[in-house]
Structure 1
Amino acid sequence: MYVDNKKPGSILFMIITILFLIGALLIFYYWKGSVLTRIVLSTAFAFISWVFSIAANKK
């Protein structure tokens, strides 16, 4: 992912992207519920992370 220094808001989006990716990994490995719920939640977090990375590149 590319972050331009002229866009200070993109760094915030980059941090949020990384947090959502870490959240997706933590949910996938440490969720104690059913496997289907674990896969759906981690996929949702990864998708949100992807959306924030697109927003960081467009800002």
Structure 2
Amino acid sequence: MSRDEKAKAKAEQAKGKAKEALGRLVGNERRTAEGRIDQAKGDARQAKEKAKDAMKD
């Protein structure tokens, strides 16, 4: 996995966790859902990069 893509995936996951926590804290269900979506995007990006690495080997 390239470092740049790995960093983007981790950043997206962290952003999602922060949004979700903030949403729960203030009782905003929409923000909580957006946080979960951002985490899922980060997970998908990470899975894509791992698959690319597996194909190289």
Give the TM-score normalised by the residue count of structure 1. Answer: 0.66
The equivalent of 2:51 in structure 1 is 58
CA distance in 2, matches of 1:13, 1:56: 7
Runs of 4+ in 1 over 4 A off after TM superposition: 31-34
* Residue ranges of structure 1 left out of the alignment (5+ in a row): 4-9
More helix by share: 2
Q: Once superposed, what is the RMSD of the aligned Cα atoms? A: 2.0
Identity among equivalent positions (%) equals 6
* Residue ranges of structure 2 left out of the alignment (5+ in a row): 53-57
Give the TM-score normalised by the residue count of structure 2. Answer: 0.68
In structure 1, what residue type is equivalent to 2:14?
A: I
- Matching of residues 27-38 of structure 1 within 5 Å: 27-31=19-23, 34-38=27-31
CA distance in 2, matches of 1:33, 1:40: 13
